[in-house]
Structure 1
Amino acid sequence: MRALVQRVSEAWVTSAPDGGGPHEPVGRIGAGLVVLLGVTHSDDEATARRMAEKLWNLRIFEDDAGAMNRSAADEGAELLVVSQFTLYGDARKGRRPSFVAAARPEQAEPLVDRVVEHLRRLGAQVATGRFRTSMQVGLVNDGPVTLLVEVDDDGGAG
């Protein structure tokens, strides 16, 4: 599982209905983290739990001395989680990315839901996008701080 994490002062996501039409607001947060979340074939419930714990406890908020020593858990920060299969795009060869490593929606959607559920069990306030729709994400990156976080199926984290 892979997440692109941005520390934000605010963020929102809109979604267009399946049949098209104008985008409508579906999620909004104040200060916290935007998490663009990608799922690969080997991910499972345990991977989802580890990712939620990693995100909630990732120390990327500044303490009184200005050091990144505080986590979303410490700050009571909100999270906006948006499914993002393109995080598993491979553009090393040619001009068109391959998405072979991205999990199919039938596998990815329940695992994204599990990450959100685990975050909520940990005490997080979580807003989400809407799976399998056209979404637009807006945010004000604070810092700017942006990290790539990976959790794999053998318990490792990157």
Structure 2
Amino acid sequence: MGTMRVVVTRVLEASVRVDDEVVAELARPGLLVLAGVGHDDGAEDAAALARKIWSLRILEDERSASDVDAPVLVVSQFTLHASTRKGRRPSWSRAAGGEVGEPLIEELCRQLELLGATVARGRFGAHMLVASVNDGPVTITIDTKNWE
């Protein structure tokens, strides 16, 4: 398995705008998932993450998205693989390029849908304005290399 990383936030609502157009939104409580793909990630990473995200008991009354049919907004975020080890400018060399990243972000969405989720998608590679009303706030990070 690779090192796919996600940040999962419980939200009351969320949206993604590209060029002044809303391309995705959650109009009711659910999960905002920022997802970053590494070079050696594969479909098994996406499937494992989908299962974990769908079953995380972080919604109200310790329920999961699967318990209450909460929608999920997935936004590609290569910056989750930033290396800040040297200097002040982050390195993005650990992040997969679009030829690997885009299909795996779509696979994550597809796996969530196979589990029963209603999934909204950001636009891969676009400059996105992501708005959210974080609830709690409750924010969880997951790295498929560590599962901590």
Please give the TM-score of this superposition, normalised by the length of structure 1. 0.88
String of CA shifts for 1:61-112, please: whole Å, max 9, x gaps: 132xxxxx21110121110000000000011221000011101111000000
| Structure 1 segments unaligned to the other structure (5+ residues) | 17-22, 64-68
Instruction: Compare CA radii of gyration and give the structure with the larger one.
Output: 1
Aligned to 1:134, the other structure's residue is in SS state coil
What are structure 2's unaligned runs of at least 5 residues?
none
Residues 19-58 of structure 1: pairs in structure 2 closer than 5 A: 23-29=20-26, 30-58=28-56
The match for 1:106 among 75, 99, 107 is 99
CA distance in 2, matches of 1:129, 1:123: 19
Task: Report the TM-score, using the length of structure 2 for normalisation.
Answer: 0.94
Report the count of equivalent residues. Answer: 144
The one of 11, 15, 18 aligned to 2:14: 11
1:157 Cα deviation from its structure 2 partner: 2.3
Give the Å deviation of 1:123. Answer: 0.5
Which runs of structure 1 show a deviation greater than 3 angstroms over 4 or more consecutive aligned residues?
A: none
Which structure has the highest strand share of the two? 1
- Correspondences of 1:1-158 after superposition (within 5 Å): 1-16=4-19, 23-29=20-26, 30-63=28-61, 69-152=62-145, 157-158=147-148
Percent identity over the alignment is: 49
Superposed CA RMSD: 1.0
